[in-house]
């Protein structure tokens, strides 16, 4: 099988994590950019990347790039591609566009022009044209224009890869699965200790933590990928890749626990963990974190997404102070990581973070922070 270039899209701040995932998976020519990583692989690797990457939102397969200084040049560039290689007249397609630059400022306009160029080519050749289908297209075409550089790619994934397929129920502020996986990988979580998410909401961080611990492919529960509708779709190859990935799963010998004080969140989280077939690894109980103490022996890895006060009505100063107090008093020998979009609130924790990593939760600028809780006092630790 021949190799070709691909682009994996990701969230800001996760580029290096994704590059490392790709390298460990055996990708060639891995190069991180902004919110993306480019790499080289064959068709089997394209299937594998979609199935197994935890921090990718989409895998694109670039097919052509050209300079587009105005709409005529854009139309001509799109027309220079032989679209019958990718699509037939009885199929449907949709065009997704991202633009940044001065010439093209409206993605709708670019999408329309691209669509016209493709449809006109089919009409001229076959006297018929493929349809547009925004919801269930046979082919997703991605157009990216930066200044005058236009890149056309086929979207191999379909809906964003954060749609893992296990989350049926969410609460009011669910975290994106790709962001959850990225936070876990940035925190160094590898399944070699006990794990706790003390404010687990609908259970996304727990599910991602269990899949990392057991090396289960991130998108094994997904119903479909865009490449399954392509002319060169190879079902046997896909099944082979699934089998080889599932053969690499591993046993996990610690506990993964989630707490939430809302009974409705606990029910949703349990549902989602069941959907992901992870109930052997994850236990969830209704607890208020601020009334708990560490239950396990040895080191504990904690990652959570506390409310920001964006959508939930809480007394932020008191809430963040209680996070700090609970960690200090109840959780020795713990690495506590959490993400917050409220940078002011961090002052109230009353502990000094040993790391701060800039990320975005949706449109909101956020920080992933790490607090190291030692066994006994830190001073005593250094006097030994």
Q: Summarize the confidence of residues 295-308 as an average pLDDT.
A: 92
Q: Where does the pLDDT of residue 381 fall: very low under 50, low under 70, confident under 90, or very high at 90 and above?
A: very low
Enumerate the H helices of 62-170 as residue ranges.
71-79, 107-126
Cα torsion angle, 156, 161, 166, 169, sign:
negative
16 and 107 together in one domain:
yes
Residue 55 forms part of a structural domain: yes
pLDDT digits (tens, 9 = 90+) for 183-229: 999 999 999 999 999 999 999 999 999 999 999 999 999 999 999 99
Residue 38 forms part of a structural domain: yes
Residue 239 forms part of a structural domain: no
Q: What percent of the chain has pLDDT over 70?
A: 95
Residue 97 forms part of a structural domain: yes
99 and 146 together in one domain:
yes
Residue 171 forms part of a structural domain: no
CA atoms lying within 13 Å on the CB side of residue 16: 7
Cβ burial of 53 (10 Å; 0-12, 13-18, 19+) is: buried
Cα 63 from Cα 84, distance rounded (Å): 13
pLDDT above 60 (res 310): no
Tokens of 10: 């990701």
> What residue numbers bound the domain in which 184 lies?
177-216+250-383
Q: Summarize the confidence of residues 106-113 as an average pLDDT.
A: 94
User: What's the mean pLDDT when you consider all of the chain?
Assistant: 93
Q: Between 217 and 315, name the one with better pLDDT.
A: 217
123 and 200 together in one domain:
no
Q: Where does the pLDDT of residue 105 fall: very low under 50, low under 70, confident under 90, or very high at 90 and above?
A: confident
340 and 296 together in one domain:
yes
Q: How many domains does the chain have?
A: 2
Residue 172 forms part of a structural domain: no
61 and 185 together in one domain:
no
pLDDT score at 384: 39
For 207-245, b/e burial (b = at least 16 CB within 10 A) is bbbbbbbbbbbbbbbbeebbbebbeeebeeebeebbeeb
Q: Where does the pLDDT of residue 126 fall: very low under 50, low under 70, confident under 90, or very high at 90 and above?
A: very high
Q: Where does the pLDDT of residue 172 fall: very low under 50, low under 70, confident under 90, or very high at 90 and above?
A: low
181 and 279 together in one domain:
yes
Residue 115 forms part of a structural domain: yes
77 and 185 together in one domain:
no
Cα 192 from Cα 195, distance rounded (Å): 9
Residue 187: alpha-carbon gap to chain centroid: 15
291 and 379 together in one domain:
yes
How large is the greatest C-alpha to C-alpha distance in the chain, in angstroms? 84
* Reduced 3-state DSSP string for 351-378: CCCCEEEEEEECCEEEEEEEEEECCCCH
Q: Where does the pLDDT of residue 169 fall: very low under 50, low under 70, confident under 90, or very high at 90 and above?
A: low
Residue 296 forms part of a structural domain: yes
pLDDT above 80 (res 303): yes
Q: What is the dihedral of CA 261, 264, 266, 267, to 10 degrees?
A: 160
Cα 183 from Cα 177, distance rounded (Å): 10
116 and 31 together in one domain:
yes
141 and 209 together in one domain:
no
pLDDT score at 225: 96
pLDDT score at 96: 95
Domain end point (choices 125, 155, 185): 155
287 and 352 together in one domain:
yes
37 and 120 together in one domain:
yes
Is 122 in a helix, a strand, or coil?
A: helix
Domain with residue 85: its CATH number is: 3.30.2130.30
Q: Which residue has the tokens 């529960």?
A: 221
Q: For the residues of 6-67, what is the DSSP string, one character each?
A: EEEE--TT-HHHHHHHHHHHT-EEEEE-SSEEEEEE-HHHHHHHHHH-SS-SEEEEEEEEEE
Rg, C-alpha atoms of the chain: 23
Q: Where does the pLDDT of residue 14 fall: very low under 50, low under 70, confident under 90, or very high at 90 and above?
A: very high
Phi, psi of 152 (to 5 degrees): -110, 130
pTM: 0.93
pLDDT score at 377: 55
pLDDT score at 103: 81
pLDDT digits (tens, 9 = 90+) for 240-281: 999 999 999 999 999 999 999 999 999 999 999 999 999 999
pLDDT score at 41: 98
Q: Summarize the confidence of residues 134-139 as an average pLDDT.
A: 92
Q: Between 381 and 297, name the one with better pLDDT.
A: 297
Domain with residue 209: its CATH number is: 3.40.50.150
């Amino acid at each position: 099988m021949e190799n070709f270039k691909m682009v994996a899209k990701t969230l800001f701040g996760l580029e290096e994590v994704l590059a490392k995932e790709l390298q460990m998976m055996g990708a060639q020519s891995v190069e991180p950019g902004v919110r993306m990583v480019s790499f080289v692989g064959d068709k089997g690797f394209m299937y594998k990347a979609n199935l197994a990457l935890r921090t990718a939102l989409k895998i694109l397969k670039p097919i052509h790039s050209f300079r587009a200084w105005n709409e005529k040049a854009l139309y001509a560039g799109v027309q220079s591609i032989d679209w019958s290689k990718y699509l037939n007249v009885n199929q449907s397609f949709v065009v997704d566009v991202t633009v940044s630059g001065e010439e093209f400022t409206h993605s709708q306009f670019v999408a329309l022009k691209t669509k016209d160029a493709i449809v006109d080519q089919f009409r001229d050749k076959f006297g018929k044209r493929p349809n547009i289908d925004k919801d269930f297209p046979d082919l997703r075409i991605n157009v990216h224009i930066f200044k005058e550089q236009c890149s056309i790619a086929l979207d191999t994934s379909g809906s964003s890869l954060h749609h893992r397929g296990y989350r049926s129920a969410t609460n009011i502020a669910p975290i994106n699965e790709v962001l959850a996986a990225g936070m876990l990988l940035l925190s160094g979580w590898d399944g070699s200790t006990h794990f706790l998410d003390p404010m687990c909401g609908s259970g996304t961080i727990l599910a991602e933590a269990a899949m990392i611990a057991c090396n289960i492919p991130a998108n094994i529960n997904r119903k479909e990928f865009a490449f399954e509708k392509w002319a060169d779709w190879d079902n046997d190859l896909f099944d082979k890749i699934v089998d080889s990935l599932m053969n690499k799963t591993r046993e996990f010998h610690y506990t993964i626990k989630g707490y939430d004080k809302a009974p409705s969140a606990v029910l949703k989280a349990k549902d989602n963990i069941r959907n992901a077939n992870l109930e052997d690894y994850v236990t969830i109980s209704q607890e208020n974190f601020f009334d708990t103490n560490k239950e396990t022996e040895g080191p504990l890895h904690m990652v959570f997404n506390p409310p920001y006060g964006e959508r939930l009505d809480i007394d932020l100063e008191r809430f963040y102070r209680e996070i700090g107090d609970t960690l200090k008093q109840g959780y020795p020998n713990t690495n506590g990581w959490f993400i917050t979009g409220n940078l002011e609130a961090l002052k109230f924790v009353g502990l000094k973070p040993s790391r701060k990593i800039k990320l975005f939760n949706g449109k909101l600028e956020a920080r992933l922070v790490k607090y190291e809780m030692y066994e006994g006092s830190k001073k005593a630790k250094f006097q030994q």
